[in-house]
Structure 1
Amino acid sequence: MINFWINKSSLKEATLIPKFYDPEIESYFSSLKEEYNFFTIRELVEKEYISCSTGHEIGKMAYGTGDIPFIRTSDISNWEIKTLPKQGVSEEIYDSYSKKQDIQKNDILIVRDGTYLIGTNCMVSDLDEKSLYQSHLIKVRVKHNEIFDEYIFFLLLNSPIIQRQIRNMQFTADTIDTIGNRFYDIRLPIPKINKNNTSASLIVKDLLKNRTRGKLLIKNLPFLLEQCLKENNIKAFEDFEKEDILKLVEKTPQDTITSEFGKFEAFWVTKESLANDIILPKYYDPEIQDELKDLEKTCDLVPVSDLIEKGILSLSTGDEIGKMAYGTGNIPFIRTSDFSNWEIKFDPKQGVSDEIYEQYRESQDIKENDILLVRDGTYLIGSSCIITSHDVKSLYCGGLYKIRVNNFNGFDPFLLLGIFNTYIVKRQIRTKQFTRDVIDTIGKRIEEVILPIPKSYELRDKISKSIKELVTERIDARIEISKISNSILPVIS
């Protein structure tokens, strides 16, 4: 929309933001009146079709007291909660809030505050039930009714017209954007005849279940893959995949990103053992050396620098294109916060124009199966994902490494992605990060990281195929969910 007129009597609560009265939405809703009923979130609550509540701010002193996830706005991506949320709390703190928050499977968490993240949402899985969530999130629980179930509500919430309403309603409160209580004014068109809802619900239920199973595997992979490397076979991986999803949840450790930082307390090193005058204790973590020694029997222990020198790997960083380029178009500009659980977000925070993309396209040279790894950013350092055919037309920022496997002889990108996400490699990355200016980074120390590469070519192949299948199935499911949510309502003209 460019401009339009409204009467003074049409103003709501003296709100003078033009997008709040978007006439295209009103016109669109008018075109649906014959086949759809309209309900606001408030009306759905009053009719007891749904219930809504917000979380709590537990205070920063509670952060890091334990491994029970405290879900924050940045922990939700691609309709799921990250496998390793940033903050965790103790059992005591969890017990003091768990009954009030009452998180259950199939609850929907929606970001209420946070500018770009507002409207981002996920459905709680079996893996996420033992968690707490912050006050910037709204929890919606769909109660039994004859109009829709939780999956249809989820699809409607993610349809373009509802997301557009959410964007139009957000406003700045103090220093942060929010949708506040305007959330209850969101209108949902519900079909008068639910002819397509049942099939859509069943399909999405199955797709979300498949993504949850994959998420469970990603969360357990750091330990499973190391077991495969030590035992020189893929059995641990295959056995895990065959398990019932509820049994997988029981086997899955409850942990947060702090599990990558290690637990050693004190040890001695000689002056001669210091490297480049580095005196950070974590840099010399003796547990890492012990683990690498255990892996030496079945793996070749190869520093990243050796792989670069031999031409097997190539590393490069992106560009900082400047904030003036943000929002100039729809081509994704991938930043450190734009991927989780091995995937790039389907809705990256920033987009750029075709002109800016063409300016950087050749120098960045993004190709399918390139790996992006976070170089700068404290908690995010070491996070990685693999570029798929859906992500090739993108640019990436200077805080990321692009890693390309040039030699595919027994060593390919999916094997590398798995190795980069083993516990032993993630731990090494954490020990080598340092603070530069105001932000943490791993800098060129990434080249010091030692990769345990299976000596067995058969095992390399099996790991690669398993990782590729895992990534492909999850991304295919995500794309299918996106298609269904985009088609659950007629397309806005």
Structure 2
Amino acid sequence: MNSFRIKSTDIKNNIFIPKYYDPEIENELFRLSNNHNLIKIGTLLQNGILSISTGDEIGKMAYGTGDIPFVRTSDISNWEIKTIPKQGVSQEIFESYNEKQDIQENDILFVKDGTYLIGTNCLVSKLDLPMLYQSHIYKVRVNENELITPHLLFLLLNTEIVQKQIRSFQFTADIIDTIGNRFLEIVLPIPKNNKEALDTSFEVQQMLTDRVKYKAVIKQFPLLMEESLRNGATDNFSEFLSKDLDEILEEMIQDTITLEFGDFSTFSICSSEIKNSIIIPKYYDPSIYDELHDLEKNCELRTIGELTKSGILSLSTGDEIGKMAYGTGTIPFLRTSDFSNWEIKTDVKQGISEEIYNLYKDKEDVQSEDILLVRDGTYLVGSSCMITQYDSKSLFSGGLYKIRTNDSSYLPSYLLLGLLNSYIVKRQIRTKQFTRDVIDTIGKRLDEVLLPIPKSDQMKKIISQQVEDIVQKRIEARENIFSSAIDLMNF
């Protein structure tokens, strides 16, 4: 929109921010009113159809005390919680908040504070429990009724018209943006054709279930991968995938990112073994070398640096295009926080113009099946994702490595993604990261990381296919959910 006028009598609660009164939103809601009931979230709350509450700030001293996830705003992406949230708490701390927070399957977590993240939301699945969540998040529960289901509410929150309202209502409180109680002013366009709406929500439920099942595989993948590499067999993958979701959940590990840092106490090494004057103990973690030795029976151990020098891999970093380029368009500029669970976020934080994209596209040369890996960023270091056909028109920042396989017969790209997400590789990355200035990085030490590449071509093929299925099926479900949100407004 450019400019518009409103009467002074239309000013609400002394709010003088133009975007709050965006006439395009009013016009769109008026158009939808023919086939949709326009109901405010606040009305649903008053009528007992919804329950809304916020989480707690448990204090930084509680971080890292255990492996029960403490979900924060940055842990929600692509309508789900990250498989490995950044912070975990102990059983004791969990129990002190559990009764108050009372998180259940099909609750919706909605980010209320945080500028770009406001409006991000997800449905809680069985896979995410137990957990706690922070105060910057609303927990929304749909109570038993015939008007709306949790999955229909989830779909409505992710329609374009509702997301536009969220952006128009958010405001700055102190040093952070929030939607605050204006969340209750959001108008939900609920289709009058209740049967079609509920049918669509049921379809979305099935799509989300598919995403949850394959998310469970991603969460369990490091253990499945290590077991497969150690035993020289891939039966464990097919056995795991053949189970229904409830059976899978019984086997699930509950962990946070701290598990990647390993578990060792003391050891000694000769002074002659010190490399490049590095005297940080974790760099020489002997348990890693013991595990790599065990894998040599079925795997060929080759460093990323060696693979790059031989031409099997190509590594490059992105560019820092400058903040003035942010928001100039809709082409994604991928940064370290823009992916999780092996995929790019659908709502990438920064977009750039076609003109800026053309300046860098040949140099960065982003292609489908390239892998992005976080080089800089403390907890995010080592996180990786696969570029797909939906993401190839993009640029990426200097804090990321782009890794490309040039010899897919020896090292298929999806096998490489799987190896990068095995514990033995992620633990190596953690031992080699270091602090530079004010941020952690792995820098050029990525070249030192050993990849346990299966000797068996059949094993390579099966693992690669399993990883590709996980990525493609989750993305297919994601795109279908997008389409369903659009269809819901066209009833």
Which TM-score bucket, shorter chain as reference? over 0.9
How is 1:300-379 mapped onto 2 (pairs within 5 angstroms)?
A: 300-379=300-379
d(CA) in 2 for partners of 1:32 and 1:450? 57
Displacement of 1:158 in angstroms is 0.2
Q: Distance in 2 between matches of 1:408 and 1:129?
A: 38
TM-score by length of 1: 0.98
Q: Is the 8 A contact 2:110 2:138 kept in 1?
A: yes
Equivalent in the alignment of 2:3: 3
Cα offsets for 1:57-115 (capped at 9, x unmatched): 10111111110000000000000000000000000000000111111111100000000
Which residue is equivalent to 1:27? 27
**Distance in 2 between the 1:160 and 1:209 partners?**
23
CA distance in 2, matches of 1:418, 1:5: 56
Amino acid at match of 1:292: L
Structure 2 equivalent of residue 178 of structure 1: 178
Q: Report the equivalent of 2:55.
A: 55
Provide structure 2 residue ranges, at least 5 long, that are not aligned to the other structure: none
User: What one-letter code is carried by the residue in structure 2 that aligns with 1:186?
Assistant: I
Alignment partner, residue 249 of structure 2: 249
Deviation of the 1:427 alpha carbon: 0.1
1:323 deviates by: 0.2
1:357 maps to a residue whose letter is: Y
Aligned partners of 2:232, 2:264: CA distance in 1, in Å?
A: 28
Q: Describe the superposition over 1:329-353 as per-residue Cα deviations: whole angstroms up to 9, x where unpaired.
A: 0000000000000000011000000
Equivalent-residue separation in structure 1 for 2:423 and 2:32 (angstroms): 52
Change (3 A) 1:23 1:243: same
TM-fit CA distance, 1:297? 0.6
Work out the CA distance in 1 between the residues paired with 2:471 and 2:150.
Answer: 26
- Displacement of 1:34 after TM fit? 3.0
Corresponding residue for residue 112 of structure 2: 112
1:53-92 matches, cutoff 5 A: 53-92=53-92
Deviations 1:274-330 (A, max 9, x none): 010100100000110110010011100111111111100010000000000000000
SS at match of 1:189: strand
CA shift at 1:256, angstroms?
0.3
For 1:35 and 1:302, the matched residues in 2 are separated by 61
**Match in the other structure for 2:387:** 387
Compute the displacement of 1:488 (Å): 1.3
SS, match of residue 2 in structure 1 = coil
CA distance in 2, matches of 1:57, 1:134: 5
In structure 2, distance between residues paired with 1:129 and 1:284: 35
The one-letter code sitting in structure 2 at the alignment partner of 1:452 is P
What is the alpha-carbon distance in structure 1 between the residues aligned to residue 304 and residue 157 of structure 2? 44
Q: Name which of structure 1's ranges 132-141 and 248-257 shifts more when overlaid on structure 2.
A: 248-257
After superposition, residues 423-462 of structure 1 pair within 5 angstroms as 423-462=423-462
Q: Taking every aligned residue pair, what percent have the same amino acid on both sides?
A: 58
Q: Distance in 1 between matches of 2:262 and 2:411?
A: 28
Residue 152, structure 1, aligned to residue 145, structure 2: no
User: After the TM superposition, which of the residue ranges 410-419 and 243-252 deviates more from structure 2?
Assistant: 243-252
Could you tell me which residue of structure 1 aligns to residue 397 of structure 2? 397
Retained in 2: the 8 A contact 1:375–1:401? yes
- Cα pair 1:104 1:124 within 8 Å, conserved: yes
- The answer on whether the counterparts of 2:191 and 2:488 sit within 8 Å (CA) in structure 1 is no
Aligned to 2:39: 39
Aligned pair count reads: 491
- Which residue of 2 is the match for residue 410 of structure 1? 410
The equivalent residue for 1:279 is 279
TM-score normalised per structure 2: 0.99
SS in 1 for 2:39: strand
Q: What is aligned with 1:268?
A: 268
Q: Which amino acid aligns with 2:173?
A: A
In structure 2, how many angstroms separate the alpha carbons of the residues matched to 1:193 and 1:303?
59
Q: Is the 8 A contact 1:109 1:124 kept in 2?
A: yes
Task: Tell me the CA shift for residue 254 of structure 1.
Answer: 1.0
Cα distance in 2 between the residues matched to 1:472 and 1:193: 33
Would you say the 8 A contact 2:107–2:141 is kept in 1? yes
In structure 2, what residue type is equivalent to 1:173? A
The Cα offsets for residues 33-67 of structure 1, whole Å up to 9 and x where unpaired, read as 33222211110011111111100010111111110
Q: In 2, are the aligned partners of 1:410 and 1:461 still within 8 Å (CA)?
A: no
Q: How far did residue 246 of structure 1 move?
A: 1.3
Residues 78 and 345 in structure 2, CA contact (< 8 A), matched pair in contact too: yes
Stretches of 4+ aligned residues off by more than 4 angstroms: none
Q: Which secondary structure state, in structure 2, belongs to the residue aligned with residue 402 of structure 1?
A: strand
Contact 2:32 2:489 in 1 (8 A): no
Question: What amino acid is the match of 1:74?
Answer: S
- Name the structure 2 match of 1:164: 164
| 2:227 alignment counterpart | 227
Give the C-alpha shift of residue 201 in structure 1.
1.2
* Residues in 2 aligned to 1:223 and 1:463: alpha-carbon distance in whole angstroms: 13
Structure 2 SS opposite 1:190 = strand
What letter corresponds to residue 297 of structure 2 in structure 1?
K
CA distance in 1, matches of 2:344, 2:78: 8
Greater mean alpha carbon deviation, residues 190-199 or residues 10-19: 190-199
Superimposed CA distance per residue, residues 356-388 of structure 1 (whole angstroms, 9 cap, x where no aligned partner): 000000000001100000000000000000110
